[in-house]
Amino acid sequence: MSYAFCSKDFAAKPYWWNGTPRPQTVGATLPTQTDVLVIGSGYTGLQCALQTAQAGRHTTVIDAEDLGWGCSSRNGGQISGEIKPDFNQLKRRYGSDQALSLIREARKALEWLGEFVEAQQIDCDYQRCGRFVAAHSPRQFKKLIAQAEQQTPGLEQTLNIIGPGDQSSEIDSRYYHGGLIVDSHCSLDPAKYHSALLQKVQDSGAETIDHCAAMHIEANKTGFRVTTSQGVIQTNELVIATNGYSGNLAAWQQRRVIPIGSYMLATEAMPIERAEKLMPHNRVFSDTRKIVVYFRRSPDGRSLIFGGRVSVYESDPIKSLPSLRQEMLRIFPQLEDVKIRNTWMGFVAYTFDGLPHLGKKEGIHYAMGYCGSGICLASYLGHRLGQQLLGQKEGATAFDQQRFQTRPFYTGNPWFLAPSVRYYQMIDRIS
């Protein structure tokens, strides 16, 4: 199914897969024994596996779908190093020192990823492009000014205010009321990054097995016996890296992550002059709404990649495409004649305290719950988790200390999502 506004080559799959075909593991079979079994082959699982395999541990990574099929090949490619709670919220919960440590470490994750990409020569169109945070109302613009002018001592960063009168230098849209540039934020092609990381993991000797769903975990004297769709494997160490796709395999983790669909579209390629006019500096963009939209140009600069949430309930991305396109046209009405090339969705993993979590529960290691900032946080915490498995002291992080909360009656199905989306839509209209 497609619409008149779709291009002839329209496909309901991530834009990124047009240029990076899905990886195939030809002929790989599940070993019966391994030192480290990683369930989930996104950034978390692969960064963890890279550490353990490079240290000489026999490492096996499995995924229920093709490798990297989850968020790690379908995200927006915007890299922020931000956690959801702000300094004051964190200070109220944990005190000033811990609040500073958490925010500093998330920012360090952003730097760490840039260094990793450079040092490992990862070909993924990584750019330090900066972010434009667009104010959806004059009141929100005032809040952005306050944010730039009253930064928490010790957490200062380069923030530049762009007034409504000057914003045409950043975005060819009248929808917004000025904005804030965050200098440090970056972009990459998520599927290229995943593909290059996968290659590193395979080169380091790890086994990677696709279409191999873990179905049952049983603890025993030497570790865990895991039953998968391709047979049984015994492992000394077990890592759950399933994030927004965590099912009832590990019920404890499932009760602690909230999967929320995020929906995306990509336009067909436009003439470069036309695309450049939309966002001349090629930054990543998000806005001040609670039900946020985020967008950027593709790495070749010619397509608009636009994401957000337009339906109250989860939906087929093809069904919600007309509404998502309408949202794009509210911001860029000049794109009425530009066809849509791709649409897709994926499940972002939120947590009840807005923080990512890593740790060990009943002997099983996990890292998850990046709340939409997973490109650098999943990569960084996956890396740290790998170091922890090896007993290295560098693996310690400020995120280790946090209690991973759930709520009574929450079993993994976010029944409260629809009323929450309606509530936040209302807040966005009046704020």
Least distance in angstroms from the C-beta of 226 to ligand FAD: 9
Nearer to ligand FAD, 198 or 378 (CB): 378
Q: Tell me, residue by residue from 330 to 369, as one string, x for binding to ligand FAD by CB under 6 A and - for no binding.
A: ----------------xxx-------------------x-
Least distance in angstroms from the C-beta of 39 to ligand FAD: 5
Least distance in angstroms from the C-beta of 200 to ligand FAD: 15
From 15, 16, 69, 176, residue interacting with ligand FAD (rule: CB under 6 A): 69
Q: Which stretch binds ligand FAD (CB under 6 A): 120-128, 244-252, 327-335, 388-396?
A: 244-252
| 375-394 residues near ligand FAD, rule: CB under 6 A | 375, 378
43 makes contact with ligand FAD (CB under 6 A): yes
135 makes contact with ligand FAD (CB under 6 A): no
From 20, 51, 52, 72, residue interacting with ligand FAD (rule: CB under 6 A): 72
3-state secondary structure 149-192: HCCCCCCCCCEEEECHHHHHHCCCCCCCCCEEEECCCEECCHHH
Tokens of 431: 């704020």
* Residue 273 contacts residue 353 (beta carbons within 8 Å): no
Type of residue found at 320: S
Least distance in angstroms from the C-beta of 292 to ligand FAD: 11
263 SS3 class: strand
Tokens of 38: 């990683």
Least distance in angstroms from the C-beta of 369 to ligand FAD: 9
The count of residues interacting with ligand FAD (CB under 6 A) is 43
Nearer to ligand FAD, 270 or 345 (CB): 345
- Name the nearest CA neighbour of 242 among 400, 367, 375: 367
| 210-229 residues near ligand FAD, rule: CB under 6 A | 213-214
270 makes contact with ligand FAD (CB under 6 A): no
Cα-Cα-Cα-Cα dihedral of 42, 87, 114, 195, to 10°? 10
Least distance in angstroms from the C-beta of 357 to ligand FAD: 11
Least distance in angstroms from the C-beta of 385 to ligand FAD: 11
Give me the residue whose beta carbon is nearest to ligand FAD: 374
228 SS3 class: strand
Least distance in angstroms from the C-beta of 66 to ligand FAD: 8
Type of residue found at 181: I
201 makes contact with ligand FAD (CB under 6 A): no
**Neighbour tally for 259: CB within 10 Å:** 20
- State the residue for tokens 């329209």: 10
Least distance in angstroms from the C-beta of 337 to ligand FAD: 26
* Residue 336 contacts residue 329 (beta carbons within 8 Å): yes
Rounded to whole angstroms, the Cα distance separating 50 from 47 reads: 5
The beta-strand segments (E) located in 312-383 are: 340-350, 357-361, 364-368
Type of residue found at 201: V
From 370, 380, 399, 404, residue interacting with ligand FAD (rule: CB under 6 A): 370
Find the length of the chain.
431
Q: Which stretch binds ligand FAD (CB under 6 A): 33-41, 140-148, 268-276, 409-417?
A: 33-41
Q: Tell me, residue by residue from 138 to 177, as one string, x for binding to ligand FAD by CB under 6 A and - for no binding.
A: ----------------------------------------
Angle at 31 between CA 30 and CA 35, to 5 degrees: 120
DSSP H stretches of helix in 214-312: 251-254, 272-278
Pairing of strands 357-361, 364-368: antiparallel
Rounded to whole angstroms, the Cα distance separating 98 from 49 reads: 29
From 83, 197, 241, 279, residue interacting with ligand FAD (rule: CB under 6 A): 241
Nearer to ligand FAD, 85 or 372 (CB): 372
Rounded to whole angstroms, the Cα distance separating 319 from 317 reads: 5
Rounded to whole angstroms, the Cα distance separating 287 from 306 reads: 12
- Residues at the site binding ligand FAD, with contacts judged by CB under 6 A: 39-45, 62-65, 69-72, 74-79, 213-214, 241-245, 247, 249, 262, 264, 307, 346-348, 368, 370, 372-375, 378
